[in-house]
Structure 1
Amino acid sequence: MSDRLNVLKTYKLYVGGAFPRSESGRVYEVTTGTSAAAAAGKGGWLANAPLSSRKDARDAVVAARKAFGRWSGATAYNRGQVLYRVAEMLEGRRSQFVREVADAEGLSKPKAAAVVDAAVDRWVWYAGWTDKIAQIAGGANPVAGPFFNLSTPEPTGVVTVLAPQDSSFLGLVSVIAPVIATGNTAVVVASERRPLPALSLGEVLATSDVPGGVVNILSGRTAEIAAPLAAHQDVNGIDLTGADEALAKELEIAAADNLKRVRRPRAEDWTADPGTHRLTAFLETKTVWHPTGSLGASGSAY
């Protein structure tokens, strides 16, 4: 009989490419089982997750803003390569995510494996869209006069993403990947009851080619973390997927103060074809006029 102690994993936040504990020093218990069992306190203990504070949220926004210039300025092809590298790393840690998803969502190992495989496939799917979305969201516009008039998509900026509460991995991937595929940077609030797959995703991102700060992952009480992010003047958009109806209304009001783009929560089937609506949710359109023929070589942008 072995007398060695089990080495339990310490889960940490992922902010600016580093793994800090919450500045408050707080943690909360994460348990197994279905959401009903966890709510009743009947789930088995899995880990202590960091209980993020408002200061952690502000730090994450600073990191995301710092990373935005480099990430948005990278070529779309390069972003696709980086996202594909993340999928490679996810595939290499498949067994870990199967275990974590099974524990988080109360699934059998075969069902959890199917969820993880779908999540990796979803990440690859979005990686393939990085250098194609401009063809869908942009184009040449017909105008009267000797001009080219071209519209091209541009990333919105720093986007807060409230991850789905019940889909701890497939839903998580489905809300993060399209945001960063189009050149935005993200501050992600993980599922309150099921945060461990999200915190482990941070470890994958750190060991891939994703620059620090492009994705920042916080765990804790969704309402507590989301409130300062919705009101933050340096956040340009917010995805309210993980908010309930009452919280979403409060956050949408707060977000109006600096005219954030807001994606409202709606019923989602995470196994369905995702389409392109999430890719275009946090894009702006830049239109450029350029003279043709002998009018000159200078153009102007509006």
Structure 2
Amino acid sequence: MSDRLTVLKTYKLYVGGKFPRSESGRVYEVTDGKSGEWLANAPLSSRKDGRDAVVAARKAFGAWSGATAYNRGQVLYRVAEMLEGRREQFVREVSAAEGLGTSSKSGTAKAAAVVDAAIDRWVWYAGWTDKIGQVVGGANPVAGPFLNLSTPEPTGVVAVLAPQDSSFLGLISVIAPVIASGNTVVVITSEKSPLPALSLGEVLATSDVPGGVVNILSGKASEIAPSLAAHQDVNGIDLTGADAELAKQLEIAAADNLKRVRRPQPVDDFTADPGTDRLTYFLETKTVWHPTGSLGASGSAY
């Protein structure tokens, strides 16, 4: 019999490609969703952590949005590869986080199905990166000697409130489409089940995702989200994980700089076909006019 003590995992935030502890130094207890057993202490993020995450996301935005669609697709596919290699770890964490039962075969099977669906979702969005332009953009008919072209462009830095009851599949369903379309993201994890999201940061750090493209904060959305909604350098906010009262408060704050806001939907089943709604929501359309004929021959454009 060994006297060796197990080395418990220290969960940290993921900001700018690094793993800082919360600036506040605070943590809170995370328990098993079924048995109530203590699992770990998670960082309790502060508003300062949120501001640091926005700075990191803005710094990463230029290079990420300017990368080729093919490159972004390869990076997202690499995330799926790395998750596949750590599948057993995430099955355990999802099972405990969502109260599926870590010791029962049925609970493990359900958690495995969730993790497999999450991996497949990364692959699905990876395949969409080089197809968004063809679906959303295109040439528009005009009555005149002009070409009129519409091209999708990413909105910028997007704050995301992850769903509370789908700690892994729901989390990936709200961040993968945002970064697939060229945005960078600051995500607030499920408050009661943050551990799978914090472990995802470790996967992202080894998956060719540039630092700052995804920033993961754990803690209370009611404390962190208002400052993100009012932040002048945040361009959009997804309120999926907000309750009605918090969502209303954040919408009012977001109106100050005309953020694009995705309101919580009445029904959002993350096990269903993801569709393209989330993929295109945080995109803007740039329209370019180009003269044809004799004017076009000179190369003039405006």
Give the partner amino acid of 1:246. E
SS of residue in 2 equivalent to 1:167: coil
Structure 2 counterpart of 1:192? 191
Point out 4+ residue stretches in structure 1 off by more than 2 angstroms: none
- State the shift of 1:106 in Å: 1.1
**C-alpha distance in structure 2 between counterparts of 1:255 and 1:77, whole Å:** 32
SS of residue in 2 equivalent to 1:165: coil
The RMSD of aligned alpha carbons is 0.7
**C-alpha distance in structure 2 between counterparts of 1:257 and 1:84, whole Å:** 37
Structure 1 counterpart of 2:11? 11
Q: Indicate yes or no: 2:291 matched with 1:291.
A: yes
Give the partner amino acid of 1:197. P
User: Within 5 Å, which residues of 2 pair with 1:7-46?
Assistant: 7-34=7-34, 43-46=36-39
Structure 2 counterpart of 1:214? 213
**C-alpha distance in structure 1 between counterparts of 2:232 and 2:30, whole Å:** 32
Structure 2 counterpart of 1:65? 58
- State the shift of 1:222 in Å: 1.0
Q: Which runs of 5+ in 1 are unaligned?
A: 35-41
SS of residue in 2 equivalent to 1:294: helix
- State the shift of 1:136 in Å: 1.1
Q: How many residues align?
A: 293
Identity of aligned residues (%): 85
Structure 1 counterpart of 2:149? 150
Structure 2 counterpart of 1:228? 227
- State the shift of 1:52 in Å: 0.1
| Range with greater deviation from structure 2 (56-65 or 139-148) | 139-148
- State the shift of 1:100 in Å: 0.3
**C-alpha distance in structure 2 between counterparts of 1:87 and 1:297, whole Å:** 44
- State the shift of 1:298 in Å: 2.2
Q: Indicate yes or no: 2:98 matched with 1:105.
A: yes
- State the shift of 1:188 in Å: 0.4
- State the shift of 1:293 in Å: 2.5
**C-alpha distance in structure 1 between counterparts of 2:48 and 2:271, whole Å:** 35
Give the partner amino acid of 1:130. T
Structure 2 counterpart of 1:270? 270
TM-score (norm 1): 0.96
- State the shift of 1:299 in Å: 1.4
Q: Indicate yes or no: 2:88 matched with 1:89.
A: no
Give the partner amino acid of 2:222. A
Structure 1 counterpart of 2:238? 239
Give the partner amino acid of 1:157. G
SS of residue in 2 equivalent to 1:81: helix
**C-alpha distance in structure 2 between counterparts of 1:298 and 1:84, whole Å:** 40
Give the partner amino acid of 1:140. A
